[in-house]
Structure 1
Amino acid sequence: MQPASTEASPADARAVSPVPAPDLRHRPGDRAFRHANLALFAAGIATFVLLYSTQGLLPLLSADLDLTPGQASWTASAATLGLALALLPASALSDRYGRTAVMTASTLAASVLALTLPFAPDLTTLVVLRAVQGAALAGLPATAMAYLAEEVHPSALASAMGLYVAGNSIGGMGGRLVSGWAGAAWGWRWGLAVSAVMALLAALAFRLLIPRARHFRPAPVDARALARTVAGHLRNPLLLRLYALGMLFMAVFGAVYNTVGYRLTSAPFNLPESMAASIFVVYLVGTATSAGAGKLAGRLGRRGALYVAIGVTAAGLLLSLAGRLAAALLGLVLITAGFFAGHATASSSVGRTATHGRAQASALYLIAYYLGNSLGGTIGADAYHATGWDGAAAVGLTAMALAAGVTLYATRQAVTARRTTAPTRTRAA
């Protein structure tokens, strides 16, 4: 008699193979999915209400504290500068201590700091507090997308990201509108106070709603590995061009929105402060053009979409030079639409271009982006103080000329690469 075989047949092996663990990430319809979306929406509102809270108050700050537009603009630029410098450290901290912990600490700390701003006795104190507040705010943009990627099912990630970006957009607009309207009624200190309360309520809503992270795995902070990854990205010519484009587009946005309030409340328009603050409703144009940028890039290619964005922004700047209110407002609409289309195209290209360390690649883009805001806003405000709106528009047009040069160089590089590889392919065939 033959002994029984101890080897399992292929059918037996399949029968005892381990069953894949179910994917427990949040899906549409889940209570946790709804809570995660609402939490990130609220956090986006809190962050961007605070980041841009002084932008609608710059003319009031100038009048009350006897400041030039350039001096007052530092209250806006300091916050974006502080955020830019803290992005990489915040992303490293989130890898070590967790996404929800860093986002919670970020939004609550910045909101509590905001409650102190109305009591600032002078410009220096206000600028320092705004820089610290910007650094505190860095935890959300550095961490939110990583949290969603880890906790939300891939099939629902695009919609979750869209709602988070919508919260950013509404917060950016709401911060300017609420502070501007309250400031026009009761003064800039009350404008900042109302923004602080609004942001604190949103931050508390985030803390109450955010589901516990189930898929985060802490990792030690490896400063050397982080430095190597960052250095590798900074040696990538395509990423450098994308970073430059983000900086240049945001320089236009900072120059325009830091000075448009001064222009609208001065001759020849002489609008009341409350009406000038309402101009930030134009920000909603950016929500639509951001959503349409992907379709535009799909039809024209990435560089084609960038050329359109540059052209629309430049056309808006030129149109805004006219002395008529309708032309100035239409110019602002075009500037906003072009900026958001360019930013959406450049930022979405970063993740596709980076082959590793995508979180750090995106953080570097945001650093360039917010540095562009700080530089453009300050230089544009100084130019406005020196020569009026023509000076601020000239800063924007210079930035768009540089952006066109960067994009044209990229186009020529791509054409050269295709010509170089074509003969090789022919010989190989």
Structure 2
Amino acid sequence: MFIGGFATFALLYATQPLLPELSREFGVGAAWASLAVSAGTGAMAFMLIPASILSDRYGRVRLMKWSLALAAVIALAGAFVTDFTQMIVLRALLGAALAGLPAAAMAYLGEEISPNAQGRAMGLYIGGNALGGMSGRVLGGLLADVGSWRVALAVLGVLGILAAIAFWRALPASSHFRARSVSPRAVCDDARVIFADSHLRWLFACGFLLMGAFFGLYNYAGFRLEAPPYNLAQSAIGAIFLLYLMGSLSSAWAGRLSDRYGRHNVLWAMMVVALVGLATTQFEHLLVVILGIALYTFGYFGAHSTCSGWVGRRAGERRALASALYLSAYYLGSSLVGTFTGLAWDGGGWTGLSLAVGGCLLAALGLALWMRAMTRKS
């Protein structure tokens, strides 16, 4: 599952460090260029629920294997586009294909891992996601400097195919999967039960706000860092994504803390860390900016890991649909908020972007504190 998460997010986010170069290549603005990432995350958001329904009927393992294999082929095709419209279409198809893996992954871990270890298991899976997202971005920036953005996408596509082969061969079969009805009535009944739980509703909202805020910062950090006074090259901008290592550490750590102290006590604290990191990026010195992004990344991934585990634990036998609803909100946040924060960047630079991102984080923090209060009362 670590390999699957790694490959999924390496392929999905490979274009993020390339946004300034794609903007120049195709003559589009920053907000429009961000669609090279947002089209994929948006398509994934819309396909997660259908994918989760398929996983309930036909099994987690089969869906995850085919999703990753198909996505790797589409990723390779992205290196050969001739205009930006083709790029957006292929990235959307990539996101749609990839949806099967995260839609089934959380349910698979919930079924196959004992309850007292699920926090740690989810933390390691999210850590694989973080490491994959980091590796795709760093390697993409490095290859773009050495060759071009086409070389970057081609190499990552080939690596994705190799990862899909390894995933196909290594993933253990399900031992506890039981097929569920996928009739519209059964799905609607499950959805009603899920949305009747106020904690799950607010966790979905937290996922939307967290991912939107995270994408808002990382989408446009490259535009800030390539401009004066920093004037960083593509490889150096890509290296900023090495800070995702902080996400791998915080995901696993937050999972252990959640198992010990409760998710309601960990979630809000991780959001505060992210806000402190965002405030730190307001300084001009490059090392201080990097420190701020590191803190921001640490807090974000800790909060996301905590939310993910909480959804799976609280939803019980409906964890596949609940996880898909959470991830749909999560990736919809990255697509919508991640794109619209480009308008804040265009209008107000880093200050305007930070205000937009900070507003999302503060709203998520308010929800986390409310859930903490309700959990303590119960």
Query: Which TM-score applies when normalising by structure 1?
Result: 0.81
- Cα contact 2:283–2:289 (8 A) shared by 1: yes
CA separation of 1:203 and 1:236: change in aligned 2, threshold 3 A: same
Aligned to 1:143: 104
Aligned to 2:19: 58
- Deviation per CA, 1:283-331, whole angstroms, max 9, x where unpaired? 0101111122245456765444333222221221121111111221111
Residue among 54, 60, 70 paired with 1:93: 54
Matched ranges for 1:254-269 at <5 A: 254-269=215-230
Aligned to 1:374: 335
- Deviation per CA, 1:30-64, whole angstroms, max 9, x where unpaired? xxxxxxxxxx3322222111111111111111121
Alpha-carbon distance, 1:143 to partner: 1.6
Aligned to 1:127: 88
**Larger helix proportion of the pair:** 2
Residue among 154, 157, 163 paired with 1:193: 154
CA separation of 1:234 and 1:67: change in aligned 2, threshold 3 A: same
Alpha-carbon distance, 1:374 to partner: 1.2
Aligned to 1:325: 286
State the distance in 1 between where 2:120 and 2:161 align: 26
State the distance in 2 between where 1:397 and 1:297 align: 25
Q: How many residue pairs are counted as aligned between the two chains?
A: 378
State the distance in 2 between where 1:268 and 1:131 align: 35
- Deviation per CA, 1:372-425, whole angstroms, max 9, x where unpaired? 11122102222212221112211111102212332344456567x57xxxxxxx
Larger radius of gyration: 1
SS for the counterpart of 1:221 is coil
Matched ranges for 1:347-358 at <5 A: 347-358=308-319
Alpha-carbon distance, 1:354 to partner: 2.6
Aligned to 2:347: 386
Alpha-carbon distance, 1:154 to partner: 7.1
- Deviation per CA, 1:102-145, whole angstroms, max 9, x where unpaired? 11210111111112111222222211111111010011111234
* Range moving further from structure 2, 244-253 or 279-288: 244-253
State the distance in 1 between where 2:339 and 2:250 align: 26
CA separation of 1:238 and 1:266: change in aligned 2, threshold 3 A: same
Aligned to 2:205: 244
Aligned to 1:75: 36
State the distance in 2 between where 1:362 and 1:395 align: 27
Aligned to 1:221: 182
| 1:205 pairs with 2:155 | no
- Deviation per CA, 1:194-236, whole angstroms, max 9, x where unpaired? 1111111100111222345565454442221112211322232
- Cα contact 1:379–1:395 (8 A) shared by 2: no
Alpha-carbon distance, 1:148 to partner: 4.4
- Cα contact 1:177–1:278 (8 A) shared by 2: yes
CA separation of 1:149 and 1:197: change in aligned 2, threshold 3 A: same
Show structure 1 runs of 5+ residues with no match. 1-39, 419-429
Question: In structure 1, what residue type is equivalent to 2:35?
Answer: W
CA separation of 1:65 and 1:238: change in aligned 2, threshold 3 A: same
- Cα contact 1:57–1:191 (8 A) shared by 2: no
State the distance in 2 between where 1:211 and 1:312 align: 36
- Answer 1 or 2: higher relative contact order, Cα 8 Å, separation at least 6: 2
- Cα contact 2:65–2:164 (8 A) shared by 1: yes
Aligned to 2:304: 343
Identity in percent? 44
Alpha-carbon distance, 1:79 to partner: 0.7
Residue among 103, 106, 119 paired with 2:67: 106
Residue among 208, 221, 239 paired with 1:278: 239
- Deviation per CA, 1:342-371, whole angstroms, max 9, x where unpaired? 212222222333355122112111111111
- Cα contact 2:53–2:321 (8 A) shared by 1: no
